[in-house]
A = this chain, B = another copy of it.
């Protein structure tokens, strides 16, 4: 992996300023969490939990696997790391309140890069009143020059019942809010050495999850919900498995996510890949996938993409098993983390 923006060890590196120098600089850019009674710098943070419960989730991002410093700016990485976590909270029907960040990085990491990550996280969190309230910074493994970021998000349900993955019932409607396939398309563009169409490259660098859709779905009576981080077919599979149902998706509707004049169609037409494959198997846009009772009014932003049926747990597209559909598109359904 190339790292054009990385100077050698020097005055502005993590090794030169030390752990507490890093913490001071990062904290200065962390913003303030509206519900934090104790923020960064003590043994632990203290965050108010008005609901009486706290929602908590952790996502790990590894350089060279989840981001590349030559493809994404530090701010991009901060936005992306925060977004992946905030979307998990939204997918429970909650709103985010605070982040904690575990960071392992080489001594040669520029402090400016970490400050950029902190600024990106702060910007992604600020509209929610959330911010980084704690964390830990250590040196990378002796054999590694890569950054590892482990981000934990806390959230508040504001009185809602958490929407888990196991409540989908036959007869329910399947719906999705947000983009599908944009991040995957952007990744395909970057991998070929291009940086446009800008819209999909930006979607890869800084996903824009439909955060408000999660609580709105919970309020509308969603029976099951998750975010699409591994790809629609894969995450629909997790939901189907947890609920012991079949999710039968409508290929025509999913095809319509490839807008004829949009960037996915444009990249595909230029030979950059299969647009429907991105929609069905691309992860990291963090769309919100939910099931609703047939009589429910879908909240704004949700598009009906299928129905829940009884049967051996799994996902079908127009009745065809997901694995066969994905294979027909030359894709495996979803990320394989240890390939």
Contacts and interface: CB of A to CB of B under 8 A. Distances in A.
Interface residues of A, number: 78
Contact of A152 (B48, B56, B164, B337): B56
Given A65-B139, A144-B144, A148-B150, 5 more contacts: A43-B57, A43-B89, A44-B94, A45-B57, A58-B152
A243 to B, nearest CB: 12
Interface in A226-264: 226-227, 242
A45 B55 CA distance: 6
Interface string A186-212: 000000000000000000000000000
A213 to B, nearest CB: 13
Contact of A56 (B134, B150, B336): B134
Interface in A16-43: 18-19, 22, 37-38, 41-43
A141 B60 CA distance: 11
Contacts of A55: 44-46
Contacts of A89: 43-44
A180 interface: no
Contacts of A138: 60-62, 65-66, 337
Given A47-B53, A92-B44, A152-B58, A139 B100 contact: no
A107 interface: yes
B162 A62 contact: no
A116 interface: no
10 contacts: A18-B336, A42-B92, A52-B52, A54-B54, A54-B154, A56-B133, A58-B134, A58-B135, A136-B150, A140-B144
Given A102-B150, A141-B144, A142-B146, A52 B62 contact: no
A151 to B, nearest CB: 8
Given A52-B49, A100-B57, A338 B139 contact: yes
A91 B48 contact: no
A104 interface: yes
A98 to B, nearest CB: 7
Interface string A1-19: 1000000000000110011
